[in-house]
Structure 1
Amino acid sequence: MREAVRHPGWTIAATMLASSLAFIDGSVTNVALPAIGHDLQARGEALPWVINAYLLPLSALLLIGGAAGDHFGRRRVLTWGILLFAAASVACALAADLHVLLAGRVLQGIGAALLMPNSLGILGSSFEGEARGRAVGTWAAAGAIASAIGPPLGGWMVDAIGWRVIFYINIPVAAAAILIARAYVAESASEEGRLDWLGALLATGALGALTWALTLWSAHHQASPASWTGLSAGIALLILFVVTEHRLGERAMMPLSLFGSRPFVGLTLLTFLLYGALGGLIVMLPYLLIVGGGYSPAQAGLALLPFSIVIGTASRLAGRLTERIGPRWPLTIGPIVTAIGFALLLRADPHGSYWTAILPGMAVIALGMAGTVAPLTTAVLSSVDDRHTGTASGFNSAIARTGGLIATALGGAVLSRTGVALVDAFHVAAIVGSALALASGIAAFATLES
């Protein structure tokens, strides 16, 4: 362990609490979607924006959030992110209509883009070797536990009090994270230089246009002139983003030189495909159970509990294993197991027995993801030098959230259905998820070294 880490336990605790804000918020909001739609009179095709208004800035700004930590100090930027996230949570809780809620969700996404990469960046710059693997495994396990607590607790709160209270639960967690970070976490060394604001603006615009176009297409089940316009604008902005990053070289928030590494390309492709499949599932399954099967929000939250328990239990072990045998086999086998779990969800029936129709697929997906989450994070952090751990973790998190962003945008094709059509659309999504997970495992095997 490095000499600079005077309080290793408290350092891990601060990063776990901070990142848990994002994990809790994501899992709780998914369960509350039907209640939010009913209370704010939002149509089914508009509901993906409750998720994507958060995921869009999170995906686009994670890169510059990590770079900001590298420049200004990771503890400082982490604290800024927590404060913004907490204030935005209050705004969401007080929202009188959908537009105000979406604005609050955007601010939450910006706050999460600051705190997420810097929580991992602090771990990457504070620990090394097997200690880093254990720390990241513990961080991943805490995130899974937070995700596990979120749905049943949030579902119960939605039933007993109302959906607004789910945003208030972020406040005590944020307060504890700030107090511990300020008291016990050492500030990381910062870099001089300018941040890539133009790159951040172009990335946000590109993802925003693409998300809007895909959401519009999925809601109406067909392409339209407006969706084609958005898609074209998104692609054009994406090209400008790549050109800008190439021109900036190592000063870019996404240095293109990183893609000269075959393993880095493989990890990026794996992350995008696998988290795209998972992001779609986490949004669609609670909606299927509540709207299609008559589950209460609390019951839908409990239905997701085995998923997070398995990941939380096994992630630390997977992190240790990766330090000994390397990431190739865990990152190959884990996604393949996940693909099998998605295939099992072809049997999903919201009116059938949860134990036979839903649980088997969820358990197998959880087992596969448990073997993937910590090894993937450790592999990414180990692929760069200490000065760029925030940038690397931010990029990987951005790719993961972008996969979920696109999956949620396309998920409008499922959320806008009812009855038998809703179940059929979910089964099609399960097939797509299985194919994406399988492809991610193949990508890891083909690009990573033994």
Structure 2
Amino acid sequence: MAETATTQARSEPPLPAARALLVMVTLLLATAMASLDSSFMPLAFADMIDDLDSSTNQIVWVALGYLVAATGPMLLAARVADAFGHARLFQIGATIYSLAMMACAFAPDVPELIGLRLVQGFGMALFLPTTFTIATRIFGPERRGRALGWLQAANALGFILGPIFAGWLLDAYDWRATFWSRIPLAALIIVLAFAALGLRRPMALAGASRRFDLAGAVYLTLAMFGVLYGCTQLPVEENWRDPWSWLVFIAGFVFAGLFLRHERRAPEPLIDLGLFTRSREFTRAAVAFATMFASLPLTLFVLPIVLINALEMRAWDVGLIMAVSALFTTLMSPVSGWASDRFRPEIMSSTGALVRGTGYLMLLAVTVDSSVAGLLPALIVIGIGTGLFFSPNNALLLAHAPPERAGMVSGLFGTLRQSGYALGFALIASLFAVIQKNFELDWVYTGLGELPAASATRLAAIFQAGGIWSPGLLIFILRVAVLACTAILVLSLLNSLPRLHLSWRRQLAAAVALAGLAFGGSFALSTLLPGGMTVAVSDADATAVVQPLPAVAPFGMARRAAVDVAPAPAEHAAAPFGQYCSACHGMRAEGVAGLGVDLRQSAFVRSQDLEGLKRFLRSGRDPSSPENRTGRAMPAFGWLPEATLDELARYLREAAASPR
């Protein structure tokens, strides 16, 4: 293959220096744009959930859909680029990616946003693997290291500056700004892709086979989708009762088996499974690499949400913290590469996993009163550990692979990285959603059961505003995620230690033991939950005003001063509507911009009789419902007394009939 590549390179005259520089600028901008996306999304999740009126287990597919679409076709895309030209695939992929990213800024709801992210991920799968090949082809073997170094620098720059830029955009605007702010860059990259690379140099590999493992790419994509869908959906919203969710989940494992069977028999497989069977060291390094990425959702998903919602930090401050961590990763990467040449790479990669795990455990000290300065030490340690791990680990993977498979192993980096991160992301996101749901049901409603009816009704109205996003609960979720991700990271450590060889059975046993330890630690943390509530009320009058709740310390932590909830204005005639509906629809049903429609002009309200409106109030409406016109959830009020539902329905009918 090296000989044919050289022959192909000789058949194409070298580019002029100015043209080569323009090509390199195009590659650098495209690489930076892709890394900006990865650093923007973690900060934007909290605002997406709020603005799109969505839930955690829905919004995670904004990231997971992107990862699935980017991972499944990536190895196939590299083969297609060899046959038809790396320049062609870069141009097509960059165009698809850029146009989809532009459209994301105008997505009206979560389903459409997820669909566009799927297209964007597919575009990334086409163009990103070609950047290294094009850079090598343009600058030749003698300047290859310098060119690849610049690409790595562009990638690191995106991860360092991305969180800062995203934080400023989210403070000044909203999550859509993280997309539309990159529209000028995307447009420039489309123009440069065709202007710099042109149409006369496809940069195909001479003699490259045009037999593609399309079936393998399809099996891999469907396997990832099925497993990730099951991991995110089955644990929440009683989806374990849904046969469809189980069918998709089981189908994911079936397609994974078909993928492995197919790859063993395919004449030109996407992944040579012999890499894993012939070398135990290669397998250990691959498992360590994938599990390291599976542990990253702690800092790239849970931590930003907790800092913004629980600690009430500005997105700008959170971006600075994450940028500092990325900076230390970038600074330590060349140091670890140098050190791994002098010492054993296994020692450096295991040291990196150990240091990052130490940083994870330092996050257990985070409270609702933690400051930016208090968080920086943990994030710096995490960044140092990450920088120490990757270069030696990648060197191990390449050192234990046959030279003729070096290209396949380079492509395998992306597959292991994306699939490991996606699986970890799905598991941690499900854990996040499950804890929220369970505590909303078990903790809140247990508390309501201990209160008089009048107090319980008032407290239920307060929790309708988002009790599952309380600072205490989010800090608890962070601590559980720390234990879970540390357990995943220990698997990376075990597979990085020199002279420690684990069979697949021992790998599985270690994973089960670590999961048990993480579960036990989470159970120990749950003992910090409050045992009950005490509310002072007047027994003489069932409608007496509830006194303020006394200070409590849920989850073992002191809370900020409580914010008084203002009662509905006395002049409003419809008390139930003012209590349950006015926050989104206004005190007179006139609607609130960005929250609820004007019910006085609602065709749906006019078309329903009293019984129809009451049925609607009892069941609510999901954001994904075909009848939903706003993309926002309509909460269910089935827990309200029949008399209250009747009064709400009558008021809606009167509002729809009143003159505007």
Q: TM-score, normalised by structure 1?
A: 0.87
Residues in 1 aligned to 2:392 and 2:28: alpha-carbon distance in whole angstroms:
17
Change over 3 Å in CA distance of 1:336–1:176 after alignment to 2: farther
1:230 to 229, 248, 251: 248
Aligned: 1:183 with 2:196: yes
Tell me what 1:348 maps to.
Answer: 366
Offset of 1:47 from its aligned partner?
A: 1.5
Write the deviation string for residues 111-146 of structure 1: whole angstroms up to 9, x where unpaired: 111223222444677889997666555533432220
Aligned: 1:396 with 2:405: no
Is contact 1:140–1:312 with CA below 8 Å preserved after alignment?
Answer: no
Residues in 2 aligned to 1:389 and 1:84: alpha-carbon distance in whole angstroms:
28
Residues in 2 aligned to 1:176 and 1:379: alpha-carbon distance in whole angstroms:
38
| Aligned residue runs from structure 1 range 363-442, under 5 A | 363-380=380-397, 390-410=407-427, 411-414=429-432, 416=436, 417-419=468-470, 420-442=472-494
Change over 3 Å in CA distance of 1:233–1:216 after alignment to 2: same
| Aligned residue runs from structure 1 range 435-450, under 5 A | 435-446=487-498
Is contact 2:347–2:498 with CA below 8 Å preserved after alignment?
Answer: no
Which deviates further from its counterpart, 67-76 or 426-435? 67-76
* RMSD between aligned residues: 3.3
Residues in 1 aligned to 2:397 and 2:140: alpha-carbon distance in whole angstroms:
13
Residues in 2 aligned to 1:219 and 1:136: alpha-carbon distance in whole angstroms:
44
Read off the aligned partner of 2:43 and give its amino acid letter. Answer: V
Read off the aligned partner of 2:205 and give its amino acid letter. Answer: A
| Aligned residue runs from structure 1 range 122-133, under 5 A | 122=134
Change over 3 Å in CA distance of 1:128–1:343 after alignment to 2: farther
Change over 3 Å in CA distance of 1:184–1:229 after alignment to 2: closer
Aligned: 1:203 with 2:203: no
Aligned: 1:287 with 2:305: yes
Is contact 2:59–2:110 with CA below 8 Å preserved after alignment?
Answer: no
Write the deviation string for residues 146-192 of structure 1: whole angstroms up to 9, x where unpaired: 01211221121122233222113434444555627963798362512
Is contact 2:494–2:500 with CA below 8 Å preserved after alignment?
Answer: no
Is contact 2:234–2:240 with CA below 8 Å preserved after alignment?
Answer: yes
Write the deviation string for residues 241-272 of structure 1: whole angstroms up to 9, x where unpaired: 111111104x1111222222333312210111
Is contact 2:321–2:379 with CA below 8 Å preserved after alignment?
Answer: no
Tell me what 2:295 maps to.
Answer: 277
Aligned: 1:243 with 2:261: yes
Offset of 1:107 from its aligned partner?
A: 0.8
Change over 3 Å in CA distance of 1:325–1:372 after alignment to 2: same
Find the structure with the greater CA-based Rg: 2
Offset of 1:408 from its aligned partner?
A: 1.8
Residues in 2 aligned to 1:16 and 1:257: alpha-carbon distance in whole angstroms:
34
Offset of 1:238 from its aligned partner?
A: 0.4
Change over 3 Å in CA distance of 1:269–1:120 after alignment to 2: farther
Residues in 2 aligned to 1:222 and 1:348: alpha-carbon distance in whole angstroms:
33
Is contact 1:141–1:313 with CA below 8 Å preserved after alignment?
Answer: no
Residues in 2 aligned to 1:74 and 1:447: alpha-carbon distance in whole angstroms:
40
Aligned: 1:44 with 2:44: no
Structure 2 alignment gaps of length 5 or more:
437-467, 502-660
Read off the aligned partner of 1:431 and give its amino acid letter. Answer: L
Residues in 1 aligned to 2:233 and 2:195: alpha-carbon distance in whole angstroms:
44
Residues in 1 aligned to 2:327 and 2:289: alpha-carbon distance in whole angstroms:
21
SS in 1 for 2:234: helix
Tell me what 2:72 maps to.
Answer: 60
Offset of 1:31 from its aligned partner?
A: 0.8
Residues in 1 aligned to 2:96 and 2:388: alpha-carbon distance in whole angstroms:
33
Is contact 2:286–2:397 with CA below 8 Å preserved after alignment?
Answer: no
Aligned: 1:78 with 2:93: no
| Aligned residue runs from structure 1 range 269-348, under 5 A | 269-322=287-340, 327-348=345-366
Is contact 1:34–1:291 with CA below 8 Å preserved after alignment?
Answer: yes
Change over 3 Å in CA distance of 1:256–1:123 after alignment to 2: farther
| Aligned residue runs from structure 1 range 77-116, under 5 A | 77-116=89-128
SS in 2 for 1:195: coil
SS in 1 for 2:77: helix
Structure 1 alignment gaps of length 5 or more:
none
Is contact 1:78–1:119 with CA below 8 Å preserved after alignment?
Answer: yes
Q: TM-score, normalised by structure 2?
A: 0.61
Offset of 1:237 from its aligned partner?
A: 0.9
Residues in 1 aligned to 2:325 and 2:65: alpha-carbon distance in whole angstroms:
25
Read off the aligned partner of 2:218 and give its amino acid letter. Answer: L
SS in 2 for 1:293: coil
Residue identity (%)? 26
